[in-house]
Amino acid sequence: MAEREAFVRQLGEPVFIEDFGHDRIMFFILADGTECKLVFGREGALEELDVGTFVTLVDKRGILGGAEFALPRPDSDERRERLRQILNWFWHDLSHFMAALGRGELWWAYGQLEALRRYCVNLLRIEHGVEAQEEAYEKLEKAVPVSELAALQATFCPMDRDAMFRATLDIVSFFREHAPQVAGAYGSEYPAELERLMCDRLDELSLASRLTRDP
């Protein structure tokens, strides 16, 4: 492992090489376009490897004979905590969106709009028994039926105040439709009072926006 970078250079000239803080994994891209993830493990502890289904290409000593690499089962406590964060942080970030939009700071508002959408995507992942991800869209089509994402597809909008506000209304509607039942399924407390407070503020912002535009 100490010579892993030298090992990679035997395969080709890397134009990108990084471990992202993982001591047993190295990601690299070679000059010919080859992209790889190199995972290191110990012969006496193959069960520590998170590999999943695999095809053996080279195994001169037969180390992998009969080996199975089951992916780790989700930790229920970690999933519950992640769900708690989603249920609460969604409404916190909605507050930021409304503040940004009210101040005319569209870049900030657009960033918060994307954060709200990612919460919904991760909520769907959990609803389908799949772990929430920092990269919420990674391999999403394999985790969630695409048909269930249709309501969110229309929320990808231009950086226009009215378009962003309409998109946020759709996102909030989507979240309110799914979040309480997901919370109930996993025994998490749904912040109903926080929802009421933020939705009241959203209604006030909507009314103020209409009054501003109407003669």
Exposure of 149 by Cβ count < 10 A (0-12 exposed, 13-18 middle, 19+ buried)?
middle
Residue 22 exposure: Cα atoms within 13 Å on the Cβ side: 15
Report the pLDDT value the prediction gives residue 211, as an integer from 0 to 100.
Answer: 45
Q: Which domains does the chain have, with CATH numbers?
A: 4-40 (no CATH), 76-213 (1.20.120.330)
- Confirm whether pTM is higher than 0.85: no
Report the pLDDT value the prediction gives residue 95, as an integer from 0 to 100.
Answer: 96
Report the pLDDT value the prediction gives residue 104, as an integer from 0 to 100.
Answer: 93
Report the pLDDT value the prediction gives residue 98, as an integer from 0 to 100.
Answer: 95
> Tens place of pLDDT for every residue, the chain, 215 residues?
788 889 999 999 999 999 888 888 899 999 999 999 888 888 888 777 777 778 888 899 888 888 877 665 667 788 889 999 999 999 999 999 999 999 999 999 999 999 999 999 999 999 998 889 989 999 899 899 999 999 999 999 999 999 999 999 999 999 999 999 999 999 999 999 999 999 999 998 886 665 455 44
